[in-house]
């Protein structure tokens, strides 16, 4: 079984479990953004945006630099490799299951095909 740092992995999946945070990460792929820029597409306050950003920081997915009153955030994709490693362990399970399902569906389809009519 894949054994990774469970608390760290939990914080990564917690951070990725929220659609707002996933959207913020997607935005950071394009480059660094301020907290205000990350909050702008959503109907949330700067305080709420900061809470989302804190969850991403706790997971190690972003880095925040403070320049005076401006907080700049940038993506740190490294921890995503841990999540990918954990998920890839289960990928084999799902691939095998989907292969079995495909075979069963194929058998079901061949049973439903009309039988050829006999010629007289």
For the chain, 120 residues long, the average pLDDT of each consecutive 10-residue run is 68 95 96 95 93 96 94 94 88 81 85 71
Q: Look up the pTM and report it.
A: 0.71
Phi, psi dihedrals of residue 45, rounded to the nearest 5°: -80, 165
CA distances from residue 5 to 12, 18, 53 in whole angstroms, order as listed: 11, 21, 22
How far apart CA 61 and CA 9 sit, in angstroms, is 11
C-beta separation of 82 from 4 below 8 A: yes
Beta strands in 4-118 (DSSP E): 33-34, 62-67, 70-75
Q: What is the CATH number of domain 1-111?
A: 1.10.10.10
Q: Can you give the pLDDT at residue 1?
A: 46
Q: Where are the domains of the chain?
A: 1-111
With CA atoms as reference, report the closest residue to 49 among 60, 68, 64, 31: 64
Distance CA 109, CA 103 (A): 10
CA distance 62 to 39: 15
């Amino acid at each position: 079984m894949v054994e990774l740092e469970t608390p760290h992995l939990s914080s990564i999946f917690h951070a990725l479990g929220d659609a707002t945070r996933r959207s913020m990460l997607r935005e950071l792929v394009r480059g660094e953004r301020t907290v205000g820029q990350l909050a702008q597409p959503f109907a949330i306050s700067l305080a709420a945006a900061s809470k989302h950003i804190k969850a991403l920081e706790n997971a190690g997915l972003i880095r925040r630099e403070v320049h005076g009153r401006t907080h700049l955030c940038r993506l740190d994709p490294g921890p995503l490799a841990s999540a990918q490693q954990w998920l890839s362990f289960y990928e084999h399970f799902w691939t095998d299951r989907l292969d079995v399902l495909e075979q069963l569906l194929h058998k079901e389809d061949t049973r439903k095909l009309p039988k050829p009519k006999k010629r007289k």
